[in-house]
Structure 1
Amino acid sequence: MKKSLLAVGVAATLGALSGVSNAAMTVAQNGVGQINILPYYTVQNGNTTLISIANTDELNGKAVKVRFRGAQFSDDVFDFQVFLSPADVWTAAVTLDGNVARLTTNDNSCTLPAKADLNQKFVTARLLDANKAQGTREGYVEIINMGDIPVSAVPDSLYVATKHVNGVAPCTTAVLIGDVAAPNDLTGKLTNPKTGLTSFATIINVANSKAFTVPATALNQIDGVTGLPSLVVPVRYSRQANLTTGTLSFGSVSPAFASAQTADSVFDPATGNVKMYEFDLPDLSTPYGTANAAAQLAELQTALAKGSVVTEYATDDSILASTDVVLSQPTRRYYYTWTDTPTAATDPLRTLATVDGATGVYSSLDADTNSVTVGAPSVYDREERTVSAENNIVISPNPQGSATWTLIGEVSVVSINNGAGKTGALGAEITAQDYTFAYNDGLVRLSTTAGVQALPVIGFTAVNVFNASAGGAAGTNYGQVLPLKWNTAP
């Protein structure tokens, strides 16, 4: 028997024995997937975030949706499409422009909108006034393969338009856009979106000489028979357009809200009442081989659920050490209940809604503080000593101690022994808080359980230390990234 067939057979057997009898969304251990999620980007306090998205498929191109979401309520603050040719890499930088993040790319891969229009500030249209000043500065990134651009003996026009020639893709306008009044629907030129995407972000602070490189969490829809990434996920292409009606794009069949296509109830006229456009699809809840958006959300919840995360930390003052733990929750938005606070007079384009509460695993959400209550941390120093009483661990600057610990926002940044203000390693502000322990260095287990529910969490730990004897008289910083370890059970 050929080795490849044997491997497939073994995978199928192991899948059956482990109870994986149906297709399911699963975290890819090799970091390559149909969907990637970057847990954090930031332009706070001198930071720039460099983004890289690669297509490891050496035969087929990929039509990729990229969406930046804010750290507070994961509002869409910038989204576009990238067309990766085989073995292609697309790169960009996110910087601060005044009070708002902006994207800059010199990459020659095709995008919609085109590169000249893509180099601009992030969009604050869906941020409430209270969030506009900082709402784009921190968040996370969704990267979704909407469909493959297939290679063939006689290549299709989309393949030719997006395939690099001497280092530059043609990006033929007639193929990618067509009539500007009604952009082309490319669904018919795409095939089932297969695995192949891998991504990373580097958060770099030149002035402070430190950088943190973070890989994306990769997800695949796994075939229940083979145990391998599914080859039959339907094409999920939706035009990068502010259209609400149409007959071709899967995202345009409903002018208002299509619960089969998204679990984001902000688009439900009865609740959030935010106007949905084709560019809003696909999102992470769009059915990717599942029956509907609710099923997709349930699979993501299972795949990303973590009862607690464990990490080392360092906060020794002698080396100016600082530690931040990023706990991104990329499905929290889909559990919100909304209230349509703005009126037609103040919000004529129906872009705004206020979080009223949440359901399911986030039913304990406090909308006023944008936080969920989790369990107490367990803390050890490097010599096994542990904090004996919970009130010796505080969310500073509370001097009386606290029996309540929370995660704030969609991207919660927990700083350790840092005090009030921006966090120590990453300079986070929007959804940051501090946990103060009795020990400078050691091991900590942070709860990511709300009530009895393990929350869907991805992230990393950023540790920064300062070496006064290196880098000349000024010394230098060293940034390092620790991958999170976790328990799935609460």
Structure 2
Amino acid sequence: MKKKLLAVGVAATLGALSGVSNAAITVAQNGVGHINVLPYYSVQNGNTTLISIANTDEQHGKAVKVRFRGAQFSDDVFDFQVFLSPADVWTAAVTLDGTVARLATSDKSCTLPTSVNQQFVTARLLDANKAQGTREGYVEIINMGDIIKGAAGTANNRTAAASTGVQTALFDATKHVNGVAPCSSTTLIGTGVEPNDLSDSLTAPTSGLTSFATIINVANSKAFTIPGTALVQSVAVPVRYARQANLTTGTVSFPLIAFDAATTADSVFNTATGNVRMYEFDLPDLSTPYGTANVTAQLAELQGILAKASVVTEYATDDSILASTDVVLSQPTRRYYYTWSNVPNDTADPLRTLATVLGATGPYASLVAGTNSVVVGAPTVYDREERTVVDQSSIVISPNPQGSATWTLIGEVSVVSINNGSTPSGALAANITAQDYTFAYNDGLVRLSTTSANGPLPVIGFTAVNVFNAGVGASGTNYGQVLPLKW
């Protein structure tokens, strides 16, 4: 068994690394990078998600784009900008407010808009998903440019001369003084009809961002802390600032708002396909060229460094300790492979906010649009004593009938629960994209396929294990564990 498992692991690793030897973007092993992706947040069933974003750069500030995307189709449900001064940490909590998620922070770092204490936005969620579409998802954290105190030379890769004055003004406006950043509105927002374009106040973005999220359920006394996946770029990156503006036209310098190879690969903004109206706040995203030639090259690099043929994790579902296991498989580039239909039409949707997924391309070409699911290979399961499942008919996706031979990943953030029966998620109480895999063994080791008919999928994530200790106090207590995925 050990030789067989090793062989599978080598094959998976080779599959994941194929084509990335020359990639400029890589996953930072130290957890610090230009871009961070938090694979999961949740406010389902009593969960609250605490988020922390830190700037480890002790000299330069960072202008950071933060975007929450929903678990089902990765629709933008909340985005804003945070200005981190050197060695600054920004924190917030995501809670349930009525039927939708809400952000709350008392942090003193500057943001645009000036207050981000508000409900998430459902404008781009289809009617069938509005009630719960904000409650689970993942988070993009992108350094748009460094904030420095003046500079000699070029301010960024798009302007011919530096502007020491505006660079120093932004640094002073966002640098904490006695624990509070001044957040000068004249510098950050301006006095005109349109908000300031801060591009010339920034220099090329560098590494330094690190982050984590803690999904905590106070009532059930459990918590799961998940580090962000950090992406670092080894070549020069141009300033990627776009205004946090509800505008489709204007003077934004990088570049004029348009769907093209210099801005985004998100074809929902293509007037010939999704036809959703694009705004300045939609940029940058993970597909925006970040030291690469165009969006195609950017996606190719991300696909290469995040693709995995399979992942390995331990699991525990022993009833004697009420153990439950959820495996989160987040796919932060999946959105860029969708094909779209504009539904409803412009008459019924005058603001052009909605589009329906028709299918997908690339590694997701086999996607079933109706369920937003992709068929992957069968899992390989072992118990803790090296026994393995020989008859695959004993492994099913609950509540499918015994003998099912189809395994799928649903949505952008696929949550695979193990041995949890008709309830699709145990440890995390996930709902939107959760499904249960039923195995013959209560505890053990599983290799989950992340390969579709069109190749390995770009996946990040973790395993959440919850166990119950009945011997603590009068009613016992839960313990949450987080296991990193292996491959």
Structure 1 residue matching 2:91: 3-state secondary structure: strand
- Pairing 1:108–2:112 present: no
Deviations 1:245-302 (A, max 9, x none): 1234314x14x42232100000000000000000000000000000001110110000
- Distance, in Å, in 2 between the alignment partners of 1:26 and 1:81 is 24
Quote how far apart the aligned CAs of 1:400 are. Answer: 2.6
1:130 alignment counterpart: 128
Match of 2:41, as an amino acid?
Y
- Pairing 1:215–2:233 present: no
- In the superposition, the TM-score normalised over structure 1's length comes to 0.91
Q: 1:421–1:429: 8 Å Cα contact kept in structure 2?
A: no
1:239-254 equivalences under 5 Å are 239-251=243-255, 253-254=256-257
Indicate the percent of aligned positions where both proteins have the same amino acid. Answer: 80
Match of 2:90, as an amino acid?
W
2:298 alignment counterpart: 296
- In the superposition, the TM-score normalised over structure 2's length comes to 0.92
Q: 2:394–2:402: 8 Å Cα contact kept in structure 1?
A: no
Deviations 1:198-244 (A, max 9, x none): 0000000000000000000000112xxxxxxx3x2000000000111
2:37 alignment counterpart: 37
Match of 1:195, as an amino acid?
S
1:61 alignment counterpart: 61
1:348-367 equivalences under 5 Å are 348-367=350-369
- Pairing 1:79–2:79 present: yes
Structure 2 residue matching 1:130: 3-state secondary structure: helix
- Mark the CA change 1:23 to 1:360 in structure 2 (over 3 Å): closer, same or farther: closer
Quote how far apart the aligned CAs of 1:359 are. Answer: 0.3
2:48 alignment counterpart: 48
1:204 alignment counterpart: 216
What are the ranges of 5 or more consecutive residues in structure 2 without an aligned counterpart? 1-17, 152-163
- Distance, in Å, in 2 between the alignment partners of 1:19 and 1:350 is 38
- Mark the CA change 1:441 to 1:169 in structure 2 (over 3 Å): closer, same or farther: same
1:234 to 235, 238, 244: 238
- Distance, in Å, in 2 between the alignment partners of 1:19 and 1:299 is 9
1:284 to 281, 286, 291: 286
- Distance, in Å, in 1 between the alignment partners of 2:402 and 2:22 is 51
Per mean C-alpha deviation after superposition, the further-off stretch among 18-27 and 176-185 is 18-27
CA RMSD across the alignment: 1.4
Q: 2:243–2:252: 8 Å Cα contact kept in structure 1?
A: no
- Distance, in Å, in 2 between the alignment partners of 1:113 and 1:123 is 14
Deviations 1:406-438 (A, max 9, x none): 000000000000012341100000000000000
Quote how far apart the aligned CAs of 1:451 are. Answer: 1.4
- Distance, in Å, in 2 between the alignment partners of 1:453 and 1:22 is 20
1:88-487 equivalences under 5 Å are 88-115=88-115, 118-152=116-150, 156-179=168-191, 181-222=193-234, 230=235, 232-251=236-255, 253-254=256-257, 256-470=258-472, 472-486=473-487
Deviations 1:350-390 (A, max 9, x none): 00000000000000000001100000000000000111011
Quote how far apart the aligned CAs of 1:461 are. Answer: 0.1
Aligned residue-pair number = 456
Match of 1:137, as an amino acid?
R
Structure 2 residue matching 1:179: 3-state secondary structure: coil
Structure 2 residue matching 1:333: 3-state secondary structure: helix
Quote how far apart the aligned CAs of 1:177 are. Answer: 0.2
Match of 1:132, as an amino acid?
K
Structure 1 residue matching 2:203: 3-state secondary structure: coil
- Distance, in Å, in 1 between the alignment partners of 2:225 and 2:292 is 33
- Distance, in Å, in 1 between the alignment partners of 2:221 and 2:57 is 35
Q: 1:239–1:249: 8 Å Cα contact kept in structure 2?
A: no
- Distance, in Å, in 2 between the alignment partners of 1:333 and 1:132 is 18
Q: 1:128–1:352: 8 Å Cα contact kept in structure 2?
A: yes
Match of 1:485, as an amino acid?
K
Match of 1:283, as an amino acid?
D
- Distance, in Å, in 2 between the alignment partners of 1:466 and 1:300 is 39
Match of 1:480, as an amino acid?
Q
- Distance, in Å, in 2 between the alignment partners of 1:248 and 1:438 is 57
Q: 2:362–2:454: 8 Å Cα contact kept in structure 1?
A: no
Structure 1 residue matching 2:474: 3-state secondary structure: helix
Match of 1:126, as an amino acid?
R
- Distance, in Å, in 2 between the alignment partners of 1:321 and 1:469 is 15
Deviations 1:100-138 (A, max 9, x none): 0000000000000012xx101000000000010110000
